[in-house]
Amino acid sequence: MTNTSAFKSALASIAGETNAVLDRLLPPVPGPEGRVVEAMRYAALDGGKRLRPFLAVASSDLFGVPRAHSLRVGAAIEMVHCYSLVHDDLPAMDDDDLRRGRPTVHKAFDEATAILAGDALLTEAFTVLSAPETHPDGNVRAALVAELARAAGAAGMVGGQMIDLRAGGLALDASGLARLQNLKTGCLIAIGCRAGAVLGGQSAAVVEEMGAYGLKMGLAFQIADDVMDVEGSAAETGKATGKDAAAGKATFVSRLGLEGAKNYARSLADEAVSHLGAFGEKAGLLREAAVFSATRRS
């Protein structure tokens, strides 16, 4: 098996395990409130690469963390990711009709239900992290809660989304774009890598090193998204393409050119890999994940 196919098969297998955990964590409920749970399940099940759970599990594997723990952390991060997609697709934000090859949540349900489903996915993630099934040590659980809160909030994803919504008026250059994307997308990608080290009881220095890997691979991942918006089709990506150019949005492609953006993504993947040096062969899947992020087509 080549390294890349080993990565793809690990990604698929962790996605399958994550889907089963999410299914168990989000059971349908009867009564009128059941509609929001139905929308949460629509948003969180059936679809998505599950890259963030993969990173949480593969990073945890470096430190011998039981899968039962790392899969719950991966599922919690995925809930936050799914909430961000549901809200990002709303008319008040990106106004998208298609996500993961299906109608977005506000199209399949309605806007109010989509807002509530996103809110409930976000809060449910913290219920999962704070439960003893996630880790027997309350200090570790508190550290995970703090990590996810920081990554998702105004100092992370929400802050990045705010900059993005204002970006038209900010005339961002490539380094301004990198900051935006580190906040908007990178923090939530990096948190899975950091969480693996936290679950494994590692020092702050190791948590930082894993986070640096995650941030760089996350930026490569985002640049590949900009490239796909120019080169990809909706059939390949499962969402509308060509939107950035149509909206006149600053992207890595508009700032660096198509080849410049691809080269930057590749060099970030190399930098990401340089943070894994201490783990030798054990980090093979994470190295491949960085390459995938820089060169992906979906």
The site for ligand GRG (CB under 6 A) is made up of: 48-49, 51, 81, 84-85, 87-88, 100, 157-158, 161, 184-185, 222, 225
Nearest to ligand GRG of 81, 275 (CB atom):
81
Kindly give, in sequence order, each residue whose CB lies less than 8 Å from that of residue 294, ignoring residues fewer than 6 positions away: 217, 220, 221, 223, 224, 262, 265, 266, 268, 269
Nearest approach in angstroms of CB 139 to ligand GRG is 28
Nearest approach in angstroms of CB 142 to ligand GRG is 23
Nearest to ligand GRG of 49, 266 (CB atom):
49
Residue nearest ligand GRG, Cβ-based: 48
Nearest to ligand GRG of 141, 296 (CB atom):
296
Nearest approach in angstroms of CB 88 to ligand GRG is 4
Nearest to ligand GRG of 140, 224 (CB atom):
224
Distances (CA, A) of 189 to 27, 76, 193, 212, 231: 26, 12, 7, 11, 23
Nearest approach in angstroms of CB 174 to ligand GRG is 17
Nearest to ligand GRG of 206, 269 (CB atom):
269
Which contiguous run of DSSP H or E holds residue 26? none
- Could you tell me if 35 and 109 are in contact, meaning their C-beta atoms sit under 8 angstroms apart? yes
Nearest approach in angstroms of CB 188 to ligand GRG is 7
User: 11: which 2 tokens?
Assistant: 């990604």
Nearest to ligand GRG of 199, 228 (CB atom):
228
What spatial distance separates the first Cα and last Cα of the chain, rounded to whole Å?
22
Nearest to ligand GRG of 118, 200 (CB atom):
118
Please report how many Cα atoms fall inside a 13 Å half-sphere around the Cα of residue 121, on the Cβ side. 31
Helix locations, the chain, DSSP H: 3-25, 34-44, 51-62, 67-88, 105-108, 111-130, 138-152, 157-166, 174-181, 187-199, 204-231, 234-237, 243-246, 252-274, 284-295
Q: Which DSSP string corresponds to 121-183? A: HHHHHHHHHHSTTT-S-HHHHHHHHHHHHHHHSTTTHHHHHHHHHHGGGT---HHHHHHHHII
Nearest approach in angstroms of CB 86 to ligand GRG is 8
Nearest approach in angstroms of CB 87 to ligand GRG is 4
Angle subtended by helix axes 204-231 and 252-274, to nearest 10: 150
